[in-house]
Every structure is written in structure tokens, then in C-alpha cells.
Structure 1
Amino acid sequence: MTKKLLFVCLAAFMIFTVACSNNGNGGEAKPSNSTNDTNTAVNSETEKPVEKVTFTYFNGVAAAKDTNTNETKIGKLLEDQTGVNFKIEHLVGDLNTKIGTMIASNAYPDVMIPDAAIDKILDAGAFIALDELIEKYGPNIKRVYGPYFNQMKAADGKIYFLPFSNTVGEYIPDPNINQGAFWVQRRVLKEAGYPKITTLDAYVDLIKNFVEKHKDEELTGMVSLTHDWRFFATSNPPNHLAGYPNDGNVIVDMTTFDAKTYAADDNTKRWLSKLNELNAQGLFDKASFVDNFDQYLAKLTSHKVVGFFDYGWQFANAQNALKDAAKADPTQDDFVYFPLPVTFDGQKDQYLDPPGFVKNRGMGITVSAKDPVRIIQYLDNLLTDENQILQKWGIKGETYEVDDKGRMFRTAEQIAKIDEPFNESFGFKYYSWNWPLYGGGSSLPDGNSAAPGLQPEVFQMSLTDADKMILDKYGVKTYSEMFAAPDNRPWYPSWGIPKEQGSAQQIWETKKDEITKKYFPKLVLAKTADFDKVWAEYLEAFGKLDTAAYEKWTTDEVKKLIEASKQ
């Protein structure tokens, strides 16, 4: 039965591909390096209809509506190819509680992205090994992930999940800021005459002055995200403010390559002291330490929050809602957030990620899966060039076009209609990430970007008049030009270095998180006169951790990756 289904799925995909070639590309097929066995695997069995099946999929990351993939246009086309639909459930509440319930009952969805709780899932033995499935049914998975297989293997030498950050083809940098930045409402910059803001003090003064001039609006100067595993949005800034990228718990010296933690160093003290100062002046939202993620996003769209630090991908739902409102009413552009490369003293920033491979997050098939073969076939089918175009670009003539030089682009009308409701119904919201894919910065064999947002033609067309105006005020054509180019870091990101379950490193990170989550609220909300006293208490608690051993282990792993990159 499995073999029959394989033939049927592959044949259905061939029919879809031919249709796309004739109908979507003007009769001329795109060059492809996708592996497709349908040319040699067609027989009378393929004339039978594909048996349809629905698998369950838990996503512990994205804030989106639960849905069936076949209720989206992309998902329906993929179901037509494979007969497979996924019922997606997104996290509501606490991630660890949700995962703990699954583990206690030994009942899991068919596939899942446990994100920060992936260690618990692996430790529970909830993911099946994928090696044999990939070997038998995953030619495209082998093509796309092959260069990373050694990094993807667990301690037992097996692969249990597929990450999302693999780069395919020639690397293309992102013109947007989907990583970290200090954000501020555009109206603040406009009122201040579009000043160049590069230091934390200047950023804070900008916010103070604006709030002071607009007392009648009851504005919030700054908020900070602390909910659950997203606490890093509050604990990471000292690292960035010191001029380093998001390497997790450490700063890696670019000369010695030694890894040093910063959670209890002067950088963190300086950052928390600044938040303490803002709180004392009534400019910091105290509820930051109790709000959940949805409440945080709601505040960002309320027009009341002047500034904050976060990663572009993390608050994208709020930013997209603000941008959609600005498209409908240009006066609303004042409330869209603008990214600034803020550091402590104006040193070179490193907010932009260098090319890297995050190997400790991804999607796995669970021990509860009804039909792992059918699932791996679906995931493999996603990784053809044609379906990567479908996932990210959509359908030619509807969501993108191709010029006479083979360059893919979007018209102004297409860009205008692709708002959040469209993203949901078409499926971009559900398929642009959180599946095996050509990761960020990837390109197609013909040189086009795998992601429309990274295609120069699309980025420029997507800019509104207000976007162009503010970028012009800063003498740039893309948001990323506001930031320094990333330095090469072969180990990046160090937070993606796998750690064995129950290892000293994992225990250190768990205890460190417990301590920071306990003391950071106390430090920010303390009376200014008591800050140093609370800081001393924090250092005493932190000092009980074996930080030296954690730093040595990380340094050793970083240097191994540097050596591996030279081979």
C-alpha cells in the first residue's frame, strides 16, 4: 500500500508541475535542480485517486489562527499533489506546560515544532529517527539538507528533526530588518527632524522628549517582552548594545574566539540600570513582566508604545497590522516602527545576522504519527524548486510575474493585495516558515531569490511613498543599509550548538534563566537608590553557577566549528 501511495503522490505532483509549466510560466519550464522520480515511476496505478489523509501539526512558535492547510490556496494545491492535509494547532498559554502535558500522556500530534522545548521532546523520545525515511523517500531532503547532515545528527548519530535555516544556492542578504533592533514610532523621528540615533542614551532621550511633548496621549515610553521563552527579548540587548550579534548566552571575542557570558557583566548592569531609570521616570511599562505575548503585540498596535527592543520576526504580526493600516490610510504611517542600530557608545553594531545554521530547532515526526512515510513524502515534495516558489512566491499571474530576463517580481497591485488577511487565506502566513524549506538568504538555480522579500525588485516595489521618504531622509534605499554589515562568524549562532539532555551546559542554562527571570524584574522595578543593592544580590545568586565550565565548553565548540569551516 505504501508503494502504491508513493507512485500516486509522485504522479500527482508531475501532473501539477506540467500544469504549472504550461500555465504558470508561459509554456517554458523554470530551470530546476529538484529531484523528481515521476519521469520513470508512472504506471496504471497512478490513475487511481490519491487517498486523502489529515495529519495533526503542533506549532509552538507562531502566533496565528489554527487552521487546516487545505483551507489555504497553497495548502489545497499541495493536497491536490499529495492527498495530504495538516490540521495546525498553535500554542496557547505556556509552552513548557503544553509540552509537559503531551509527554505525561505520551500522546503527540503527528508532527510538531516544539521550539524552545525541543530538548524536552528529544529527552522524552517523542521524535522518531528520520534517517531511513530520508534515505528511502527523501531525495529532495538529501539535496537540500545534505551539506548539513553532520551538524543535524544527535549524539547517537541519528537525525530527529529538520531545521529551517539551511541556505540553498548563493546567499542573498535581507534588505529588511527581521532580526534585532531598537524600534521607534516613525512620528518620533519625524518630529525630531530625522536625527541619526546610534547610542542608547540618544535613543532614550528621543523617547523621553517625545513623551514629554505629548502628555495628553498617555503614551508608554518603552515596553519589553518577557513572556515565557521569549524572555530573551529582554536579556539579549546588552549583547547587541556592546556591538555583538545574537550568539545566545555568550559574547565571542573576534580575536581570541573565547566565549564569555554577559548575563552578569557590566553590559547587562548598564542595560538594566537604564530600564530602571526609565521606570523611575514613569516611562517604562511595569506590566512588561506579567504581560503574555498576545498582550504585548496588542500594545504595539495600540499607537501608545513609543519604543522597544525586539527581533523583527517576533513582532511581525503587529508591524504588519500597522503597515496594512498605513496602506489604507497614509496618515497611519506615523505609528509604523522604524529600526535603529543602537549601541552603548556608538560602536559598530552587529545586529544583522551573518550566514549561519541553527541546528537545535526544527520540525520532527513524532512516535504518535499515523503514517511517517506519507509525511516524509509530503515534506520532501515541499523541497522541489517549484513548490518552494509556490510556498514563498505563490502563483504566477496572481502573486508574482516573470520579466523577459527571467527575473521574478511583483506588480504594485499584487503587493497591495498581499496584506495579513490575504497571507492567511492564500497560505503565505502558514507556509513561509515552519516547514522544511530553502532557508533565509537562499536563491533558486536561475539566480532569483527564494524569498520575495529578498528580491531587490520586490523590495523596492513594496515600499510605500512614506517608506521611501523616511529611507531617503537617512540616505539609504533599504533598512539594512542603516546597519553595519555582519562580520563572518563560522560558528554562528553559538546558541544553536546542540547540548545533550541533562548535560552541565543545559543545566547551567536552565538555572541561569531561572535566576534572571527572578532578578531582572526586581532590578528594573527597584527604587533607583536600591539598584546596586539588588544587583549585588543578583551577582551572589549568579555566582553559584559554574559559569567558567559553561564558557570553556562553548569556547571549545566555537573553535571546533571554526576549524571545520577551514576544511
Structure 2
Amino acid sequence: MSKKKLLTVALSVFLTASALAGCSGGNNNAPSNSSTNTNAAGEQQEDTSPVTFTYFNFQSRGKDVMANETTIGKMLEDQTGVNFKLEYLVGDPDTKSGVMIASGDYPDVIAPEAEIDKFLDAGAFIELDELIEEHGPNIKRVYGPYFEKFRQPDGKLYHLPYSPNQGYIGDPNINQGAFWIQRSVLKEFGYPKITTVDEYFDLITQYKEKYPQVDGKATIGFNIFAPSDSFYTLTNIPMHLAGYPNDGGVIVDMDTLEAKVYAATDIEKRWIKKLSEVNDQGLFDPESFVMNKDQFMAKVTSGRVLGYFAYNWQIGEATNNLKAAGIDEKRYAPLPIVFEEGIKDQYVDPPAFVSNRGVGISVKAKDPVRIIKYFDNLLKEENQILVQWGVKDDTYSVDENGRFFLTEEQKLNRDDNDFKLKYGFQYFEYGWPRYGSNSILADGNSYGVGNQPEVANMGYTDGDRKIMEIYDANTFAGMFAEPDERPWFPAWSIQLGQGSPEQIFGQRSTDLSQKYLPRMILAKPGEVDGIWEEYVAEFNKLDKATYEATMTAEVKKRAEQ
């Protein structure tokens, strides 16, 4: 550890027991300073001397960069003296996490995403409780009500999740999953109201028969963004069609709170057989299972795809590009498709706290105290406004009533990916300690820019408003049912230890899905039942009972909390 600087040669600053108490107990890499200086008057001052830490994010949010090369990063450095070397995933996350853990060569800060259980089990993160108690008043303000939801089995905190909501405002748009349909298809048939999966594909079939090509290339009826690392996009669909939100591999009974696996059940079979029929009719894009993100987005923006299923956060850049192109008919509308009439859709997420994603300080961190103080400073409300909205009169404006809004120029900048990278929004809006996306600021404004009604309304085109008017809604979310309250949501964030029976079940069931579902979808309809029976036989060899019992227990525990 580096010693803190002396403000004067005559004054010596000694380490105290209280400074050591702010570090992780038993951590051999505990800092040797309290991150404060004492001035000539004997007053304690924060240490803002320059220091650079390393940060690795398992998302691919942009090119590697020094944080102070962005506007936001430089402002945060000016406040704290802390800079970060920001690095992002390139390639396979499983390989990267395996190399890190095997070598023990960790950066100072890690945002592991879906690899988090591996890092926790490897002991890669320091314990945060004492650091938070001594140096984290804002961390306690934001996370305090949620602490019990992400403590590890030993009762300690090792990471800070991304989503503790401060109040709640719903998303006016659909940024989660939906069956999307090209607006030209709706227009061609007089904007019919369609709610069932059969109606959805019947409409696409009729349109493709009338327009088999687009610009000399074959029209694509339907595709899914489901390569191996996003295969859940395919496997989640039966859950949505049956009227459940995205709880991951289970559906939860609202009365009994029992969590049941739906893979290899009639719910999944109904969807897979439907998709097999769609494929047999020449509507399904078989490249859905092998396309990378760029290839998928290129197809969506080409105008050839009539419908697709994806979570909008997966491909938001493509939808923004379509909007910028100004050809409204080639854009897509989200639809709350279900298996049959009478099923209440639940595509819109209820208020949620995702406990198994977040950021941690590694055991190799050079100065955990400076890092936790940086995190705490980041959680000041003015800095949460900074990382989401930017600077007043620069990247957002405020009206006479104190309401945040964007001018036309500011809105164009927010839609420009290069601007978001340079300013720092792309780097700082996610992957750090933060408010939940549906939070409300103390002055009543929305924390998330897109959730602010003034911004949402400004972003709607005439075509958007026409769609919403026809379907009797003021927002796109208004076309969907209100979410039911689910205090455990989302169940997919329940942490399962690496190597546990539950984790092994999850991995093996995913492996079976990836092996058998594409085979069934691409097979002749008469072959599906035989492959299905083989799939179910293999699935029934897994320890589903233990998995369901654990998930049910955790769901009930969350509901009680």
C-alpha cells in the first residue's frame, strides 16, 4: 500500500485502529491509510491526491479508456482525485473469468455480470461491511433497506448491486421483452388488434406472401436473437406466452409461491411445436442461433424482418438507428402476445431488485478505502444526476417548474453513441453503484432519462402517436397489462453457489436446451414429437426437485422480507 502524503514536513500522521477498522477484516491486502490528511489547523481533510485504479466490466460497453478522458470521469476525478483505467470484455466471459480466477491476477474493481458467483466463490472480493460503516453514508442511504437481500451465506457484503430503487416510476416504453412486428405489416391490414401467437404469425404469413422480397432479398418472417450466450431469449418465450414475467427458468404461482421449472413441460412444448410449424412454412430465420449481435441488428435494420422476439435492451442501438433513418413503416411496434385469449400478459416488469449483479472491490485492490469513498461519492444524488442526465444547460435543461427535459439538440446527442462514449454516459450509467433505473429523484424528476414523461413524449414520432392512439394507449407500455406485484422478482437473481446441485441443474438444463430445441425447431413437424421425447427423457435425469425446492424456499424468503 502507498503511504498517504504529508501536507507538511513537520506534521506526522500515524495510522490508527479506527483507520484499520475501515478495512476488510482478515484481508491481507487491507489498506495502510485512512484516506484522510490533516491540515495545519489539525482538521481532517479527504485525501484527493491523484491515484489510478483498474476496473474491468464483463459487459462490452465500449472501448477501453481512461475514465478522465470522458467528461463525467474527469468531473468525478476532480472531486476525488481518483481515476480509473476502464477495461471491457472482448470474447467469451467464461474464458475471461476462468483466466482471472486461475491466475489470481485481479484488477482493483470488477463488475462481473453473470460471472459473479464464480468470483464470490473464489474469494475474489473483499468484505465491505466495515468499509461501508466507516466510509459509506451514501451507500447506507441507498442500499441500507436492501442489505439483507444480498448478504452472502457468511452474513457479509461483498458487492454492491445496480438496482436499489429510490421510489418508483414505470418505464413508458418497452425496454424488456416483447413480440415485435414491423409497422408496415400492421398498416397493410388496417392495424388489427392481435394478442395470440397464432394471430401474430398468421398476419406475418399473409404479409410475406404479398411481399416475398425486400430490395431483391428474401423477406424474413421471424427471427430471434438466440446465440449460445443469449439462448435465454428463446427459452424465456414460453414463460411470457403463458402470462408470466421474466423470472428466469421458473414460473412462480402467485398464491402458493411455488417455483416450477417450465423447461421440458407442455408450456415449452407448445411454443417449440409452434416455432417448428413456422419454420416449416419458411418464416423462421435459422440463423437465429448463430448470428452475433451485429448481424442480428443488421437484419433488423435492413427492413427484411417482419417480426422478432428480443429484449429491447439487447438491440436498442438498432431501434435507434431505424428511428434516425426516419422511415416509420420499417420500425417495429411491441405487442403483448400470449398463447390464447384470456391470458393476462406480464411483459412489463414489476418493481424489482436484482441482487446477483453488481460491482466488487478485489482482494488485489491497492487502496479499498479510496475506492469505497469514490463509490460513496458517486451515490450522492448530484452525482447520480450527473451520470444519468449530465450537466444542466449542457446535456439537459430545466423548466420553470423544475422539471428536467431535453432540447432537440440535447436529444440528438443522447441518441448519438459516439457522443455518449465521449461524454461518459456509456461508461458510467451502468456497471457502478447506482440507483435503480426506475428511481425518482428527491425533486420528483425521474432518475432514468427515458422514464421522464417529458422526454418520452418528446421522443415520440407522429407514427408512434398514431400506433398508440389506434391501440388506445398514451405510451407503448400502456399497450401492455400492468404488472402484478411480485416481491421476490426477479427469481433469476437468486444466487446459487458454484458447484451446488442447483447450479449444476441450471447449467445442465441449459446444455440440454441448446442441444435439443434448435433440432426440434428446424426438424420436419412429424419428427418433433420423437425428438421431444428424447429431450424429456434426458431432462428427467436431472435433479429438478432439489432445484425447485431451493427456488421455492428463496422466493418465499424474499416475499417475507
The answer, yes or no, to whether TM exceeds 0.5 is yes
Question: 2:123 is aligned with what amino acid?
Answer: G
Structure 1 partner of 2:314: 314
Shift of the alpha carbon at 1:302? Answer: 3.0
Q: Once the two structures are superposed, what CA deviation does each residue of 1:501-536 show, in whole Å capped at 9, x if it has no partner?
A: 322211111111111111111111112110000000
Question: 2:191 is aligned with what amino acid?
Answer: Y
Distance 1:46 1:80, change over 3 A: farther
Structure 2 partner of 1:383: 379
Matched, 1:537 2:534: yes
Where 1:301 maps in the other structure, the secondary structure is helix
More displaced 10-residue stretch of structure 1: 432-441 or 290-299: 290-299
**Partner Cα separation in structure 1 for residue 155 and residue 262 of structure 2:** 32
CA contact (8 A) 1:166 1:439 kept: yes
Structure 2 partner of 1:405: 401
**Partner residue of 2:126 out of 118, 125, 128:** 128
Structure 2 partner of 1:112: 110
1:227-238 equivalent positions in 2, closer than 5 A:
227-238=227-238
**Partner Cα separation in structure 1 for residue 181 and residue 129 of structure 2:** 46
**Partner Cα separation in structure 2 for residue 41 and residue 527 of structure 1:** 77
**Partner Cα separation in structure 2 for residue 163 and residue 470 of structure 1:** 36
Distance 1:303 1:96, change over 3 A: same
1:20-169 equivalent positions in 2, closer than 5 A:
50-168=48-166
1:408-447 equivalent positions in 2, closer than 5 A:
408-419=404-415, 420-447=417-444
Distance 1:164 1:43, change over 3 A: farther
Matched, 1:181 2:178: yes
Q: Once the two structures are superposed, what CA deviation does each residue of 1:97-141 show, in whole Å capped at 9, x if it has no partner?
A: 111121222212222222111111112211222222212221111
Structure that is richer in helix per residue: 1
Where 1:221 maps in the other structure, the secondary structure is strand
More displaced 10-residue stretch of structure 1: 203-212 or 240-249: 203-212
Question: 2:332 is aligned with what amino acid?
Answer: Y
| Alignment gaps of 5+ in structure 2 | 8-34
Structure 1 partner of 2:345: 349
Distance 1:345 1:465, change over 3 A: same
CA contact (8 A) 1:273 1:531 kept: yes
Structure 2 partner of 1:278: 278
Structure 1 partner of 2:333: 338
Distance 1:109 1:213, change over 3 A: farther
Question: 1:342 is aligned with what amino acid?
Answer: I
Where 1:273 maps in the other structure, the secondary structure is helix
**Partner Cα separation in structure 2 for residue 465 and residue 425 of structure 1:** 31
Shift of the alpha carbon at 1:47? Answer: 9.9
Distance 1:474 1:227, change over 3 A: same
Where 2:454 maps in the other structure, the secondary structure is helix
Question: 2:129 is aligned with what amino acid?
Answer: D
CA contact (8 A) 1:116 1:229 kept: no
More displaced 10-residue stretch of structure 1: 260-269 or 277-286: 277-286
RMSD of aligned alpha carbons: 2.4
**Partner residue of 2:512 out of 512, 515, 521:** 515
Matched, 1:202 2:189: no
CA contact (8 A) 2:228 2:514 kept: no
Give the percent of matched residue pairs that are identical in Structure 1 and Structure 2.
55
**Partner Cα separation in structure 2 for residue 302 and residue 110 of structure 1:** 42
Shift of the alpha carbon at 1:82? Answer: 1.8
Matched, 1:552 2:533: no
Distance 1:85 1:251, change over 3 A: same
CA contact (8 A) 1:411 1:461 kept: no
Q: Once the two structures are superposed, what CA deviation does each residue of 1:164-189 show, in whole Å capped at 9, x if it has no partner?
A: 11111x21111011111111222222
Structure 2 partner of 1:18: none
CA contact (8 A) 2:413 2:420 kept: no
CA contact (8 A) 1:2 1:373 kept: no
Structure 1 partner of 2:267: 267
Distance 1:77 1:267, change over 3 A: same
Q: Once the two structures are superposed, what CA deviation does each residue of 1:17-66 show, in whole Å capped at 9, x if it has no partner?
A: xxxxxxxxxxxxxxxxxxxxx9x998789999943333222222344333
Structure 2 partner of 1:479: 476
Stretches (4+) displaced over 6 A: 40-49
Structure 2 partner of 1:449: 446
Shift of the alpha carbon at 1:191? Answer: 2.2
**Partner Cα separation in structure 2 for residue 533 and residue 109 of structure 1:** 50
Distance 1:102 1:255, change over 3 A: same
**Partner Cα separation in structure 2 for residue 280 and residue 435 of structure 1:** 46
More displaced 10-residue stretch of structure 1: 102-111 or 171-180: 102-111
TM-score (norm 1): 0.88
Structure 2 partner of 1:13: none
Structure 1 partner of 2:295: 295
**Partner Cα separation in structure 2 for residue 356 and residue 6 of structure 1:** 46
**Partner Cα separation in structure 1 for residue 366 and residue 506 of structure 2:** 35
**Partner Cα separation in structure 1 for residue 102 and residue 137 of structure 2:** 35
Distance 1:5 1:395, change over 3 A: farther
Where 2:442 maps in the other structure, the secondary structure is coil
CA contact (8 A) 1:155 1:500 kept: no
Structure 2 partner of 1:10: none
Structure 1 partner of 2:29: none
Shift of the alpha carbon at 1:161? Answer: 0.9
Where 1:313 maps in the other structure, the secondary structure is helix
**Partner Cα separation in structure 1 for residue 116 and residue 57 of structure 2:** 12
Question: 2:296 is aligned with what amino acid?
Answer: Y
Shift of the alpha carbon at 1:297? Answer: 3.0
**Partner Cα separation in structure 2 for residue 65 and residue 188 of structure 1:** 38
Structure 1 partner of 2:467: 470
Distance 1:193 1:46, change over 3 A: farther
Q: Once the two structures are superposed, what CA deviation does each residue of 1:320-363 show, in whole Å capped at 9, x if it has no partner?
A: 2222x23xxx2x22332221111111311001111111111111
Question: 1:51 is aligned with what amino acid?
Answer: S
Distance 1:299 1:121, change over 3 A: farther
Matched, 1:223 2:233: no
Q: Once the two structures are superposed, what CA deviation does each residue of 1:463-514 show, in whole Å capped at 9, x if it has no partner?
A: 2233222222222121110110000111111111222332221111111111
| Alignment gaps of 5+ in structure 1 | 8-37
CA contact (8 A) 1:401 1:411 kept: yes
Distance 1:42 1:485, change over 3 A: farther
**Partner Cα separation in structure 1 for residue 298 and residue 518 of structure 2:** 21
**Partner Cα separation in structure 2 for residue 322 and residue 363 of structure 1:** 33
Count of matched residue positions in the alignment of Structure 1 and Structure 2: 527
**Partner Cα separation in structure 1 for residue 121 and residue 465 of structure 2:** 49
Distance 1:189 1:42, change over 3 A: farther
